[in-house]
Structure 1
Amino acid sequence: MPKPLPQGLEVRQARPEDVSSLARLLVHSPDDGTLYQFPHVLEYPDEMHKLHAGWLCSTVCSPTTLVRVAVLPKDGKQAIVGFSSWMKREADPGSEGSTRLAELNRVTFTERMQTEETPPLAKERKALEADEKHSEAVRRVRKQAPPSLTASVPSYELNGLAVHADYQGYGIGSLLVRWGLGRAAEDGLPVFATGEAQGVDFYEKALGFRRVLGTEFWLDKDGQDISGSDVKQGGNEEWKKVNGGLSGAEMVWCPKGYEIDIRGEVYRG
């Protein structure tokens, strides 16, 4: 059961001046897929800050992406402790059976975005390198996965979620996601999300998402596939994070009264 929400918590739309703080949040809260492919990522905060700030600059002001942030008062300012990123896809009138990105962010930002400068990197510093076996394994399972339904089904997509480690367990992640679920319910549309390990468990147990059949994968510490039957029937746990593995799946949430058939499996709200 989550702890009570922190006093003074506010959820609002992200602003250009939030970019640097958002980047810091992502630096200190990497997802399981990133940690699996880049096991030393936490040792490179400056490089990752610059990388995250780069894509956040355009994302925060994109008319087709809406970023929500959870903030708490701290030292007279607002500290960002969580965020969620949303996109919406509508039927494409020019291509039957296809969707296009809808306008979701109706606020136009005109001020120049600023990001904090990172200290110069030492010349002798070794560049951040991926674990090749793990990265190749992730590329393989993504290539083998069925096409996402977002390309053909009008829907909302949760394409980013993070909560600062110090504030996990307070229900902040649920609050950020339920905002989008409410919007989707108003429009009578499903919500799709892709999660790994802890994220999949959270979406499923806390928010009522279901795993999309055929999109699940399990990898061991050597990047080798573990079959679903071995996981479910044989009790193989080499895919767990504590054992150096990784798992993931595409998830779907349906509003009340909505149902969708995905490759022969029916999902209902």
Structure 2
Amino acid sequence: MSVRRAAPSDLEDMTWVLLGASPDDPVYAYRYPGRNQFPEDFALHCRLRCSEYLATSTVVVYEVRMGKSDDQTKVVAFGVWDPPRAKRSAGATAAKHHVSATVAAPVPVRRDAHPGRVKAFSSQSAEAKSRFFDTRYGGRGHMFLRILLCHPDYRRRGAGSELVQWGLKRAVARGLDATLFSSPMGYSLYRQLGFRECGRFLCVVIFHGSLHSSGSSRRPPPLDACRSNSMAETPPVFATPLAQSPRSDILEWRFPKPFHSFVLTGKSRAAWHTSFMIPQLNLLLDAGLCINHQRPKHIFLTHGHNDHAMLATAFVKRDDPPDIYCPAEMEVVFDSYIRANRLLNLGGLVTLDEICRTGEDSEGGDGSEPDEQAVATTPAKKGGVRPTHITHGLRPGDTVTLPRIKAQNITATAFACDHSVPCLGYVFSITTDKLRPEYTGLSGQEIKRLRVSGTSITAPKRVPIFAFLGDTTAATLAAAPEWLVEGVAVVVTECSFLYEEHRRQAEKTKHTLWSDLEPVIRKWPKTTFVITHFSLRYKDMDK
């Protein structure tokens, strides 16, 4: 395996890589929806694109040996780096244009592409590159990774990392930053390699025309008539979307070591929605929205406000009822809410007594989809109806073990939060066996002898991993709870208001103000604070 600069002889292998890798990339699926219907068009233009890369950019390939001989190699991945472009004189520019006009050949019309999407993606990505990178780095320039592809048969063998590292080394040697655009597919790789996100852009196509004539329900007129009509008819008017309202993106964040196997996924905006997942713990933190198709079985609700609990109904399921933990004060009314949602879903055609008597569901469908199963929400705890969830009312100081974790070593301890309604936070801990303090100074041989003799040399120790706070003021953390003093790795907490001018509103609603939270964060520098729940009055640029 080796990394080297590409040669013209690599064209066929590069085309093979592009054809193999493109089906997995959502960017290609968006621009070329007809690539499966017109594979010859897609293959031809993939080859033309690779030829263009070889002619205009710095292409780096990753090749593997296919046989015993060093000469039997195959390119299985490649990256295209665009170094800073040198400024040309007016004469040089004119000469280049003259040559291009002389040798350019007509590009075949392709049937696999969606013209509107291709044009929009090209123009909007160029605008984004200029805005995020070219303008920022000015005359100094930057190393731009235009594309990185690996054939699916050779993924997860380090090819992508090697190709990126190749460019990073050269960027460092030249005193430049390395930049790139990432689709969701490559995001985690680039984060692992040290890249940081500096912005996002959304490709929007206002008019989606038919890709080809067979997509129309009526027979199209002849080509000449089409050309004539398009020139003579008044162009149709389509609705132009208004500017996007304040929103929050679903983001993912990996915990720091040694808990880096956990990934926090979700989003939160005050008075709109708050919900986070940690799939590795089968855990949902608040249920203000459905983050994705997953339905975790450990659900912890901080309080009963709609933006934190309203969509709990989507997570209950009779076939596999989740464990739902909430403040004890809201346990009864929460079960009543689930019951009422069940009756509402049945359209008022049956009563709760009828459901309890028959123990049957009346909705249509086979319940095979998560969203269909989620409507079976009768929380009966006795009688003939199976429960759809198991509610656990907790009070500050209560500790529970997450029952769906195989090792049974993850616990959650409730603590009080300062809010306008009963509200809890939860600190999640892991229990492991640690060497007893009285044996810490012994050698390995001495410890081994004690173990062989049957002496208990370890004791269970609970280590806090992270704390999740619902709506609260900064007073909860300012009180220096024990788990914060012990060095909890992560604290997920709200900060609804950023500026002092909103202090009155923060105090009235019992939410957190940044100037109150900042001293707490600075006091505990070894703890990572994840700040959530920003007010909708703030735009993304304010955060």
Describe the shift of the 1:92–1:128 C-alpha distance in structure 2 as closer, same or farther (beyond 3 A): closer
User: Residue 202 in 1 paired to residue 221 in 2?
Assistant: no
2:80 maps to which of 53, 77, 85: 85
Match of 1:130 in 2: 114
Q: CA offsets, 1:143-183, max 9 Å, x none? A: 87462423524111111110111111111100110011011
2:154 maps to which of 161, 164, 167: 167
d(CA) in 1 for partners of 2:245 and 2:18? 29
d(CA) in 2 for partners of 1:42 and 1:147? 34
Match of 1:24 in 2: 16
**TM-score, structure 2 normalization:** 0.31
Instruction: Return the offset for 1:93.
Output: 8.9
Instruction: Return the offset for 1:54.
Output: 1.5
User: Residue 180 in 1 paired to residue 171 in 2?
Assistant: no
- Matching residue's letter, 1:12: R
Instruction: Return the offset for 1:217.
Output: 4.0
Structure 2 alignment gaps of length 5 or more: 90-109, 209-240, 251-266, 276-289, 293-540
d(CA) in 1 for partners of 2:149 and 2:39? 16
5 Å-filtered alignment, 1:234-249, equals 234=273, 237=291
Q: CA offsets, 1:26-45, max 9 Å, x none? A: 01111321112334424544
Describe the shift of the 1:46–1:208 C-alpha distance in structure 2 as closer, same or farther (beyond 3 A): same
Describe the shift of the 1:226–1:185 C-alpha distance in structure 2 as closer, same or farther (beyond 3 A): farther
Describe the shift of the 1:84–1:142 C-alpha distance in structure 2 as closer, same or farther (beyond 3 A): closer
Residues 17, 77 of structure 2: 8 Å contact kept: yes
**TM-score, structure 1 normalization:** 0.59
Residues 35, 41 of structure 2: 8 Å contact kept: no
5 Å-filtered alignment, 1:190-229, equals 190-204=177-191, 206-213=192-199, 215-217=200-202, 229=248
Match of 1:41 in 2: 35
Describe the shift of the 1:141–1:226 C-alpha distance in structure 2 as closer, same or farther (beyond 3 A): farther
Residues 218, 228 of structure 1: 8 Å contact kept: no
Structure 1 alignment gaps of length 5 or more: 1-8, 95-125, 239-264
3-state SS of paired residue (2:173): helix
Describe the shift of the 1:181–1:172 C-alpha distance in structure 2 as closer, same or farther (beyond 3 A): same
Instruction: Return the offset for 1:141.
Output: 5.7
d(CA) in 1 for partners of 2:127 and 2:82? 24
Instruction: Return the offset for 1:81.
Output: 0.8
Match of 1:54 in 2: 48
Instruction: Return the offset for 1:128.
Output: 1.8
3-state SS of paired residue (1:178): helix
3-state SS of paired residue (2:145): strand
Describe the shift of the 1:216–1:71 C-alpha distance in structure 2 as closer, same or farther (beyond 3 A): same
3-state SS of paired residue (2:4): strand
Instruction: Return the offset for 1:127.
Output: 3.2
The size of the alignment, in residue pairs, is 196
Residues 150, 192 of structure 1: 8 Å contact kept: no
User: Residue 15 in 1 paired to residue 7 in 2?
Assistant: yes
d(CA) in 2 for partners of 1:47 and 1:226? 40
3-state SS of paired residue (1:89): coil
Residues 27, 45 of structure 1: 8 Å contact kept: no
Larger-Rg structure: 2
Describe the shift of the 1:217–1:79 C-alpha distance in structure 2 as closer, same or farther (beyond 3 A): same
Match of 1:70 in 2: 62
Describe the shift of the 1:39–1:57 C-alpha distance in structure 2 as closer, same or farther (beyond 3 A): closer
d(CA) in 2 for partners of 1:226 and 1:24? 43
d(CA) in 1 for partners of 2:196 and 2:15? 30
d(CA) in 1 for partners of 2:88 and 2:33? 44
- Matching residue's letter, 2:133: L
Describe the shift of the 1:185–1:68 C-alpha distance in structure 2 as closer, same or farther (beyond 3 A): same
Describe the shift of the 1:60–1:32 C-alpha distance in structure 2 as closer, same or farther (beyond 3 A): same
d(CA) in 2 for partners of 1:169 and 1:226? 39
- Matching residue's letter, 1:130: H
d(CA) in 1 for partners of 2:121 and 2:82? 24
- Matching residue's letter, 1:212: C
Match of 2:133 in 1: 149
d(CA) in 1 for partners of 2:120 and 2:53? 28
d(CA) in 1 for partners of 2:173 and 2:151? 29
3-state SS of paired residue (1:192): strand
Q: CA offsets, 1:233-253, max 9 Å, x none? A: 246657xxxxxxxxxxxxxxx
Residues 184, 191 of structure 1: 8 Å contact kept: yes
Residues 86, 156 of structure 1: 8 Å contact kept: yes
Describe the shift of the 1:28–1:189 C-alpha distance in structure 2 as closer, same or farther (beyond 3 A): same
Residues 150, 157 of structure 1: 8 Å contact kept: no
3-state SS of paired residue (1:195): coil
Q: CA offsets, 1:65-110, max 9 Å, x none? A: 211111112256322110011111167498xxxxxxxxxxxxxxxx
d(CA) in 1 for partners of 2:166 and 2:123? 33
- Matching residue's letter, 1:169: R
Instruction: Return the offset for 1:24.
Output: 1.4
Instruction: Return the offset for 1:55.
Output: 3.0
- Matching residue's letter, 1:82: A
d(CA) in 2 for partners of 1:130 and 1:159? 21
Residues 6, 59 of structure 2: 8 Å contact kept: yes
Aligned-residue CA RMSD in angstroms? 3.8
